[in-house]
Amino acid sequence: MNKNGGVILWILSFGLMIFLFSKIDVSNQNLTKEVTPTEFKEYLTNDNLSELLFDKSVVRGKVKKSQESLMEIYTLPVTSAEFEEIRKLAVEKKVKYRTTPDMSGLWAILGSLFQILLFAGLFLWIMGRQMGKANTFGQSKAKRFQSDKDRKTFADVAGCEEAKEEVREIVEFLKNPGEFSRLGARVPKGILLYGKPGTGKTLLAKAVAGEAGVPFLSANGSKFIEMFVGVGASRVRDLFATARKLAPCVIFIDEIDAVGQKRGSAIYGSHDEGGQTLNALLEELDGFEVNAGIIVMAATNRPDVLDDALVRPGRFDRQIQVPTPDVHGRELILKVHTKDKKIDPSVDLLHIAKDTTGMVGADLENVVNEATLIATKKKKPAVDQSDFSEAVDKVSMGPMRKSIKLTEKEKKTTAYHEAGHTLVAMLTPSADRVHKVTIIPRGQALGFTKQLPEDRHSITKKELEAMVAVCVGGRAAEELAMGEITTGHSDDFKKATDILKNMINKFGMSEEVGMAVFKDKTDFFGNSAGLDASQKTKELLENVLKSKLEETYQKVKELLTKNRNKLDAIANALLEKETLELKDLDLIMKSF
Ligand code: ADP
Ligand code: ZN
């Protein structure tokens, strides 16, 4: 809360107190009854009312008759003529009448005063909360970037050449909207960027604005949805109103799925906040000319959940994938982020790129940053390869935990566990190559075996089976060497189970189950509600899963038993050196 929060809260509670007092006073008339204007006039003509109160939109009357002395009737005058009629009648019948505000009594005055304060306080408080986050209540909270510091260009975006190519014509259009309309060219209004988080969607949108030299308005879909229905919609309108003033410009809406989910699905009805916000967005998208010089770019990592209305022609009709970068892309991204850092000339960015499969731009930026910090801590003149290597481990596994003290037995267990993963991986042809193995605790893990997966777009059954084998190899080795198993590595079995489940339920890779695909059901709220299959099928799937896992475990144990001497050698080397690289492992394997 901001600094004014305390004062406002005081006003609030004081106001509330007074408000309640004034209410107690007023609530003496405990019986009220609504009547039609005609009935009301009847009461008045029959001399049944002792006093009238003209409120802004209602007329109240106190009923005279003794048995109803506590009763009050009121009516909602339909027209101002009716209002006037009642007033005239009251004058005629000499019935006292007052008009609000009711000034009788100090409490009433204070009451209404503080009622105002109360609401003002409430309003200020909400505003304060909003301001704490960003802009003003009801406004779009859009952020604007125009300053040179924030300006991004295509040179800052790497590893997604196709996406860049696709948005190039948008830049041309923004530079000169008039020229495009002269020739009648049709430029898309809305562009949907989709890809995993951190792949550079925001960056790409910024670069489009930066290249064209136009303002960049950004908003977040999830921020549109607030506690009050209608606020999101008004924010959307405000955003587009600002854009119209600034055109040509780029509007960027991050996490569009927060507003753009399929209507009628799960929790989204058409009258709730999400539905209203989406409607406002659709109206705004339809509401400007194609050549108005406004380009709306939106980002999501789940294009499949978007409402069809949103991706119709004339709206977000151009969809561009911002892919997870491949090894070449990662090298380029690393180049961008190391550009203005002090890097030792011996550093091989391609090597780091190979070492970071699966990482996206944001991760790589993080790696470079960590490497710089590590080198700074060690007071090195420049960042070298070993700093990068440590940074990669840190970003992927979490920081080293030097403080954690393992007992000798725990150390030995961990060494055998990791040696188990490593040896299974080295002995299984379809497994990913082992790159490094260590028993230095990092993040949640007591040690880890790092494999280098290829950049691939699909994966074979053999490769998946190898992954499961490598997963269970750790525990199998523990059991062989120590005669017991520990809880230290329960993640391995969860991972193995997940892979097997996908193989059986989704990829049709089990003979027993066949090719059928079993999806997870979702309940009313969009949460997973188990498998969409009959009880019998579920049992079959479960049994197949269990027997596959058991079968793999036994095979792996056999494999390790046959190669027990190698297992011992790797485990001992780990206990001695803590970390082994591929070349060390190769040496050990060759010595047998
Ligand atoms: P997204 O919007 O897809 O979640 P961002 O654009 O917010 O990702 O990326 C966060 C940061 O990561 C960027 O500011 C940039 O520094 C870095 N980054 C991500 N992708 C790339 C890329 N393709 N090239 C260079 N840097 C990138
Ligand atoms: Zn393990």
- CA proximity to 477, closest of 411, 560, 410, 558: 560
Name which residue sits closest to atom 25 of ligand 1, judged by CA.
Answer: 157
Q: Is residue 418 flagged as an active site residue? A: yes
- Span of 259-268, 356-365, 536-545 with lowest mean pLDDT: 259-268
**Per-residue burial over 328-338, b = 16 or more CB atoms within 10 Å of its CB, e = otherwise:** ebbbbbbebbb
Residue 250 pairs in a beta bridge with 216, 295
Q: pLDDT by residue (tens digit) across 1-37?
A: 444 556 667 777 776 776 666 555 444 445 677 777 7
- Span of 96-105, 281-290, 448-457, 528-537 with lowest mean pLDDT: 96-105
- pLDDT band, residue 133 (cuts 50/70/90): very low
Q: What average pLDDT does range 447-460 have in this prediction? A: 83
- pLDDT band, residue 585 (cuts 50/70/90): very high
* CA–centroid distance, residue 401 to ligand 2 (Å): 17
pLDDT of residue 129: 61
The closest-lying atom of ligand 1 relative to the alpha carbon of residue 322 is: 3
Q: What are the residues whose beta carbons fall under 8 Å from the beta carbon of 300, sequence distance 6 or more? A: 192, 193, 194, 255, 256, 257, 260, 306
Q: What are the residues whose beta carbons fall under 8 Å from the beta carbon of 456, sequence distance 6 or more? A: none
Cβ-count burial of 7 within 10 angstroms (0-12 exposed, 13-18 middle, 19+ buried)?
exposed
Percent above pLDDT 90 for the chain: 39
157 lines ligand 1 (CB under 6 A): yes
Q: Residue holding tokens 């921020």?
A: 223
Question: Over 80: is that where the pLDDT of 333 sits?
Answer: yes
Q: Determine what percent of the chain falls in helix, strand and coil, rounding each to the nearest 5.
A: 55, 15, 35
Name which residue sits closest to atom 18 of ligand 1, judged by CA.
Answer: 361
201 lines ligand 1 (CB under 6 A): yes
Q: What average pLDDT does range 357-369 have in this prediction? A: 93
Q: Residue holding tokens 């050698």?
A: 569
Q: What are the residues whose beta carbons fall under 8 Å from the beta carbon of 308, sequence distance 6 or more? A: 262
Give one DSSP letter per residue of 221-243, joined into a string.
HHHH--SSTTHHHHHHHHHHHHH
- pLDDT band, residue 193 (cuts 50/70/90): very high
- pLDDT band, residue 127 (cuts 50/70/90): low
Q: What average pLDDT does range 522-544 have in this prediction? A: 74
Q: What average pLDDT does range 442-471 have in this prediction? A: 87
- Span of 352-361, 416-425, 527-536 with lowest mean pLDDT: 527-536
Question: Over 80: is that where the pLDDT of 410 sits?
Answer: yes
The closest-lying atom of ligand 1 relative to the alpha carbon of residue 254 is: 2
Please name which ligand lies nearest the alpha carbon of 492.
2
pLDDT of residue 138: 47
Please name which ligand lies nearest the alpha carbon of 471.
2
Q: pLDDT by residue (tens digit) across 136-177?
A: 444 554 555 555 667 899 999 999 999 999 999 899 888 888
Give dist(CA 19, CA 116) in Å, integer. 9
Choice between 455 and 196, residue whose per-residue pLDDT is larger:
196
- Span of 51-65, 69-83, 382-396 with lowest mean pLDDT: 69-83
Give dist(CA 126, CA 553) in Å, integer. 58
Question: Over 80: is that where the pLDDT of 533 sits?
Answer: no
Q: What average pLDDT does range 46-58 have in this prediction? A: 77
pLDDT of residue 413: 93
Q: pLDDT by residue (tens digit) across 99-118?
A: 765 445 666 677 778 778 88
Name which residue sits closest to atom 26 of ligand 1, judged by CA.
Answer: 361
Check: CB of residue 255 under 8 Å from CB of residue 301. no
- CA proximity to 223, closest of 266, 250, 200, 254: 254
Q: What are the residues whose beta carbons fall under 8 Å from the beta carbon of 332, sequence distance 6 or more? A: 158, 159, 325
Name which residue sits closest to atom 17 of ligand 1, judged by CA.
Answer: 362
Please name which ligand lies nearest the alpha carbon of 450.
2
* CA–centroid distance, residue 240 to ligand 1 (Å): 25
**Mutational test site, ligand 1, from 192, 365, 367, max ligand atoms within 8 Å of CB:** 365
Choice between 371 and 278, residue whose per-residue pLDDT is larger:
371
Interhelix angle for 582-590 vs 408-427, to 10°?
A: 80
294 lines ligand 1 (CB under 6 A): no
* CA–centroid distance, residue 182 to ligand 2 (Å): 64
Name which residue sits closest to atom 14 of ligand 1, judged by CA.
Answer: 203
Q: What average pLDDT does range 382-392 have in this prediction? A: 94
DSSP strands (E only) in 527-566: 528-531
pLDDT of residue 42: 84
**Mutational test site, ligand 1, from 149, 203, 322, 395, max ligand atoms within 8 Å of CB:** 203
Query: Catalytic: which of 273, 284, 331, 418?
Result: 418
